[in-house]
């Protein structure tokens, strides 16, 4: 295996790791809301408090957490959206949104956080994902509370925002945020609900190009395509991120092609996709409906999930949606 091939495989693995946190099934929400710890007197502002995270784990907070560490970009975006940015003392290397997150001390990669760096920051609460089993165990061994954020649906993202806000005493901010996000989701649903299934455009979302990988129906991206009024050409995939041949893409003949503009440091353009051998006969190429998008909003389980939904809706149904209005 040459160096270029190894680098591509590494990029695929890194992308897959990010996407693992966004494998969603619509309508299924895990975890529950916080409650006062049984048998303990209520302290200042309702603490001690026991929350149930998205993995069904009980996490007890002795006091309001004022030093927060996030181990994923989606978690970081949730914290900043709740107005808790000034309490975030550490984030993973890939947390780059909002721009203020770039200045926060880094605690390692998404899949391999540096536990020693996290401990040195003396956090009151660490927000991890289901990728961080080893780090969770080590941090809990030294008495640092860790909650796992791993929602199973778009609605589950809203639920995660809710319990995180209660754990960090930001419920008022969460109520406004969640209400606004729900309103935007409903606008998309209302706009596409009357479109018969057979009239919904076939959509191909390209997760990676070498080898060609797409998103199956059980993934976060697959769910967003359906919510936006499209039909996923990988509707029958048995795995979450199946490999497709170029011939299979041509045969399924999607009406819309959507792809990430960047894979690590490598870019991909609309013209490069259109010029692939044999793809000129695909409907999306013929009708100039090939679009590059920001992969971050498509794969991060945070508040921008609604931005991803609105973007897909505009690309799939341009006559129904006008950019910037969401309707």
Residue 266 reports pLDDT greater than 90: no
C-alpha–C-alpha distance, residues 179 and 228, integer Å: 19
Domain boundaries, the chain: 3-21+192-316, 32-150
Point out which residues pair with 58 in neighbouring strands: 52
Of 4 and 148, more confident:
148
The CATH architecture assigned to 32-150 reads: 3-Layer(aba) Sandwich (3.40)
Model pLDDT, residue 322: 73
Residue range 291-315, pLDDT digits in tens: 999 999 998 999 999 999 999 999 9
SS3 208: strand
Candidates 3.40.50.1980, 3.30.470.10, 3.40.50.300, 3.50.50.60; correct CATH number of 3-21+192-316? Answer: 3.40.50.1980
Residue range 101-134, pLDDT digits in tens: 999 999 999 889 999 999 999 999 999 999 999 9
Model pLDDT, residue 9: 43
Model pLDDT, residue 50: 95
Q: What is the DSSP string of 257-315?
A: EEEESEETTEE--HHHHHTSTTGGGSHHHHTT-EEEE-HHHHH--STTHHHHHHHHHHH
Residue range 66-89, pLDDT digits in tens: 999 999 999 999 999 999 999 999
C-alpha–C-alpha distance, residues 126 and 99, integer Å: 21
Asked if residues 207 and 260 have their Cβ atoms less than 8 Å apart, the reply is yes
Lowest mean pLDDT segment, chosen from 20-29, 42-51, 318-327 = 20-29
- This prediction has a pTM of 0.84
Residue 263 reports pLDDT greater than 80: no
Q: Which residues contact 6 (CB under 8 A, 6 or more apart)?
A: none
The dihedral through the CA atoms of 242, 245, 247, 249 has a sign that is positive
Phi then psi dihedrals of residue 53, to 5 deg? -80, -175
Residue 282 reports pLDDT greater than 60: yes
Give yes or no on whether 3-21+192-316 and 32-150 have one common fold.
Answer: yes
202-221 residues labelled b (16+ CB within 10 A) or e (exposed) = bbbbbbbbeebbbbbbebbb
Average pLDDT, the chain: 87
C-alpha–C-alpha distance, residues 27 and 19, integer Å: 19
Residue range 144-197, pLDDT digits in tens: 999 999 987 889 999 999 999 999 999 999 999 999 999 999 999 999 999 999
C-alpha–C-alpha distance, residues 60 and 37, integer Å: 7
C-alpha–C-alpha distance, residues 145 and 160, integer Å: 17
Model pLDDT, residue 327: 52
């Amino acid at each position: 295996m040459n160096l270029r091939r190894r680098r591509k495989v590494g990029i695929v693995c890194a992308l897959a790791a990010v996407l693992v946190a966004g494998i969603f099934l619509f309508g299924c929400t895990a975890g529950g809301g916080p409650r006062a710890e049984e048998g303990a007197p209520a302290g200042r502002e309702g603490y001690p408090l026991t929350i149930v995270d998205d993995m069904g784990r009980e996490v007890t907070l002795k006091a309001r957490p004022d030093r927060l560490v996030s181990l994923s970009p989606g978690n970081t975006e949730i914290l900043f959206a709740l107005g808790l940015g000034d309490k975030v003392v550490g984030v993973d290397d890939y947390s780059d949104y909002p721009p203020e997150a770039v200045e926060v001390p880094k605690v390692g990669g998404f899949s391999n956080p540096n536990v020693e760096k996290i401990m040195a920051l003396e956090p009151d609460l660490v927000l991890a994902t289901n990728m961080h089993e080893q780090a969770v165990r080590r941090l809990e061994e030294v008495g640092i509370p860790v909650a796992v954020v791993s929602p199973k649906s778009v609605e589950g993202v809203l639920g995660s925002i809710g319990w995180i806000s209660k754990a960090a005493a930001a419920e008022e901010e969460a109520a406004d945020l969640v209400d606004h996000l729900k309103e935007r989701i409903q606008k998309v649903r209302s706009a596409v609900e009357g479109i018969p299934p057979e009239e919904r455009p076939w959509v191909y979302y390209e997760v990676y190009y070498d080898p060609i990988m797409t998103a199956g129906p059980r993934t976060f991206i697959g769910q967003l395509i359906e919510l936006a009024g499209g039909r996923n050409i990988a509707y029958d995939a048995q795995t979450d991120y199946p490999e497709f041949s170029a011939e299979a893409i041509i045969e399924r003949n999607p009406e819309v092609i959507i792809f990430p503009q960047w894979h690590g440091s490598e870019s991909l353009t609309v013209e490069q996709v259109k010029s692939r051998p044999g793809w000129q006969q695909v409907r999306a190429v013929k009708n100039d409906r090939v679009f590059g998008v920001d992969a971050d909003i498509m794969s991060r389980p945070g508040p921008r999930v609604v931005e991803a939904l609105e973007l897909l809706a505009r690309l799939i149904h341009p006559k129904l949606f006008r950019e910037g209005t969401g309707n």
